Structure 1
C-alpha cells in the first residue's frame, strides 16, 4: 500500500479544499421585467433574453403584464437584493393579512 512520504501541511490541505466550496447562485434584476433571474439566463416569466423573445410564456397574463412592469422598475432604486427583501416582507404581510397601502403592490414570480 502506498504511504505518503511527508505529512500534508494545513496550508496545502486548505489549498486543495478551497475548490470544494459551493457558491450560492447570484441573481440580477432583469432590466425589462424587473424580475430576479440568473445572469445570462432567459427570464422564465416573460421568455425574453437580451431584448429578444426566445420562449413563449405559458401564462398569457405574464406577457401582458410585461410592458407596464417595465415602467414600474424605476420605482426600485435599491437593486435586486433590496427588491428580494421587499418581496419577503410583502409575503410575510400577506400571510398576516396586512399589506402596506402607501406603495403599489408588485407581483413576484418567486412567491
Structure 2
C-alpha cells in the first residue's frame, strides 16, 4: 500500500524501489494492481480444495452412525474381530507365513 501511494504521489518506480529496498518490477506490479483493483492484496497461494467425498458425507456417515456393529481396523474372521497383522520378522516366522491371511 505504501509503495503504491508513493508512486501515486509522483515518485518514479526506481526511487520507490530504492527507498523500500525492493525491485522496480515489484513496485510496477503493485502500482498496476492498485490502479486496476483499488487495493493491494496478495493472491492466495494454494487455496482450499474441497474433499472429494464431501458431497457424499451424509450418505456415508448415516449408515455408520446407525450401525451397532463395532468397527475394527483389522479384518473380521468367523465373527470375531481380526488381529493386528504381525509386523516384525520373528512374529511372521512364528505364524509360518510371511503375510497374514485376510
Which structure features the higher share of helix residues? 2
- Larger relative contact order (Cα-Cα within 8 Å, sequence gap ≥ 6): 1
- TM-score, normalised by the number of residues in structure 1: 0.20
Which structure features the higher share of strand residues? 1
